Amino acid sequence: MSEGTLLSKVPPHSAEAEEAVLGAMLQNNEAFYAVIGRLKEESFYIERHRLLFKTILAMHDKNIDVNIETVLRYLVENKMAESIVGTDMAFLQRLVDVSPVTRNAEYYASIVSGKALMRELISASYNIQSLCFEATEESVKDIADEAERLVFNVTKERLSNNFTGVKELLIETMKMIEDRTKLKTHTTGVPSGYTELDKLTGGFQPADLIILAARPSMGKTSFALNIAENVVSGNETSNYGVGIFSLEMSKLQIAERLISSKSLVSLSKIRSGIVSSQEWVKLGVALNSLYNSNIFIDDSNPISIMEIRGKARQMESKFREIAAATGRPVALKIIIVDYLQLITAAGSKRNESREQVVSDISRGLKSLAKELRVPVIALSQLNRETEKRDDKRPRLSDLRESGSIEQDADVVMFLHSDKYYDRGEGEEAAEAIKEAEVQVIIAKHRNGALGDANLMFIKELTRFQNRVNIRSGG
């Protein structure tokens, strides 16, 4: 095909994808945050689409709510309506009408981005062709270098730029160390609320994947929910947002457990409805305390890593909206997933082993933690090997379908109680630890010490407490 033929062709673009992205962005903030890192003004081929995208960016920068009415008003006030809307007053409404569900905004953004890349490569290839036609024997190497530079300039934004100059890193690190020295506590991450555990971990650190594993009925879910409750109840962390993905229990079951633990009213009484007047008062106090707490719960099942990622982004955006509405610095600070083995692997192949599928899931959770810069606590099952040994203390090799779980995790914690193994299995074993001392074993700690934290578990309240609280009656 000749150069003239190429020049006569319409450059790659998709008007439908551009409209879908813009229509989604006009409807909610989730779509905006989902595509903002993928697209720039030049990504849009159609002029009015480029200008509209630029307008939406400007409005977000000025903290102006984005919808059809506010965008139209902004265009009129800034004398831009003629170039974008013109006489087609239904243009914005039509974008919303033809836009698919907003959760597909990322998909259409990838189409727009891909078409833009093709246009940039075509432009670069024209420049390279011109240079080659004008080449002399002495300029061959320089032209080859320039061709490489032109192609690299086009593709470099498609690469994941995760490297940073050491100068910037050192300055940021020293600032972080300085901030830590000003703290009244040595807990630098998200505190669990458990004294001995926080001494070992320094709190759950941003971007860390924390695996919490135990045998069934040992109290994994209770412990994770207690951490969530402790976070939103803390004086220093009351503005922390918590995202919970419950694949095993329903939202209402999670709410029951939170109320039981907070009120110190037995879960069995709450479920049976046999509650005294004094206990009703306790429930009311607990409800008031939890009512405005920054916890979002999703009980979708089945759910894949991609869906968890998308919903976590939505939670992050929702916390931003709460912060804007209340003037409080609310932000997503920790994610809890209960539990890892129940996550589905979208796109997995039939011949993949279960270990490989779980490994892909654990890597996805680690990627999520890094992407959102928050700790992710993922609950996991232990296999039965512990019950076959004389020494019941769990080991890293006991992680069920472990694959790369151990490798991906920054912290691996085990819940362990000797009483669990004293008699029987399942419900009988669970009965044995109605109230028992439980060790939180730090078996892996990529950036810290190993050790045990000792807690008391009160099964009927689904509550773990510091041992000092038990002694003092607190």
Q: Which distant-in-sequence residues (6+ apart) come within 8 Å of 364 by Cβ?
A: 305, 306, 308, 309
In the residue annotation, 248 being an active-site residue is answered as yes
In angstroms, the CA 437 to CA 442 distance is 16
Give percent helix, percent strand, percent coil of the chain, each to the nearest 5: 55, 15, 30
DSSP 381: E
Q: What angle do CA 420, 423, 425 make, to 5 degrees?
A: 70
In angstroms, the CA 146 to CA 152 distance is 10
DSSP secondary structure, 400-454, as one string:
TT-TTHHHH-SEEEEEE-GGGGTS-SHHHHHHHTSEEEEEEEEEEETTS--EEEE
In angstroms, the CA 213 to CA 220 distance is 7
Contact 26, 66 (CB under 8 A): yes
In angstroms, the CA 124 to CA 149 distance is 10
3-state secondary structure at position 91: helix
Torsion of CA 192, 328, 294, 25, to 10 degrees: -120
Torsion of CA 147, 149, 150, 156, to 10 degrees: 140
Q: Which of 79, 77, 159, 156 is nearest to 124 (CA)?
A: 156
In angstroms, the CA 296 to CA 286 distance is 17
Q: Which helix (H) or strand (E) holds 333?
A: strand 331-338
User: Choosing from 146, 248, 355, 425, which is the catalytic residue?
Assistant: 248
Residue written as token pair 């993949």: 352
- Rounded to the nearest angstrom, the gap between the alpha carbon of residue 162 and the centroid of all alpha carbons in its chain is 18
The letter for the amino acid at 7 is L
Contact 299, 249 (CB under 8 A): yes
Catalytic center residues: 248
